[in-house]
Chain A
């Protein structure tokens, strides 16, 4: 059975801190790993990592994929209160099977 495990499940930091969110997975026929940010309702897409793209960066957010050790990290530098959200990790396998999601990490950034 495919499995995605995120840690920590929740985290409280102060503005300006750097945070690292973890995602490990066990999936047959791995194709892609995705990160989403969910503030109130609809998750919004952050990054997709695949065999051909194991490192992504956008502003203060960056992510890497380690296919050998089967994990990914999402880094947020200089955190702001607007970064407070649930961060979801999901993994896609080959064919048309649905994404498998982890339980998410709830990040709270306090001023």
Chain B
């Protein structure tokens, strides 16, 4: 079955550590996105990528980094520069230029907690 997989489901980070969240899709989608969700805040865009080896900052990119070396994969690194990383992180994918017809497919999310 085609889908989008995020791992791990739960992640604990010590202060000062970098951690990487995985996002893999087998839908042959061109575009991939990372959103952060805090209670009462909706989804806020961190980074997105329309094609391999290219990505753009979203509204809250500070303290995060991404790479897009393969079409299927779009990992997100939460660096020590991100001062308040505790949140629920959602990855999504879509056909490029297909928002009009398809919207997004979402992963099940990773809940990151700083300890």
Please give the residue numbers on chain A whose beta carbons come within 8 Å of chain B beta carbons, in ascending order.
6, 9, 31-32, 34, 41-45, 48, 50, 88, 90, 92, 95-96, 98-104
Residue of B nearest to A32 (CB): B100
Interface of A is mostly: strand
Interface of B is mostly: loop
* A-B pairs with beta carbons under 8 A, tally: 54
Of all A-B residue pairs in the complex, the 7 with the closest CB atoms, nearest first, are: A103-B42, A101-B43, A92-B99, A42-B106, A41-B108, A41-B109, A101-B42
Residues of chain B in range 48-98 having any CB-CB distance to chain A below 8 Å:
48, 50, 58, 90, 96-97
**Given A92-B99, A96-B31, A101-B42, also A42-B107 (CB < 8 A):** yes
Interface string of B30-58 (1 = CB under 8 A from A): 01010100001111110010100000001
Please give the residue numbers on chain B whose beta carbons come within 8 Å of chain A beta carbons, in ascending order.
31, 33, 35, 40-45, 48, 50, 58, 90, 96-97, 99-101, 103-104, 106-109
Nearest CB on A from B38, distance (A): 10
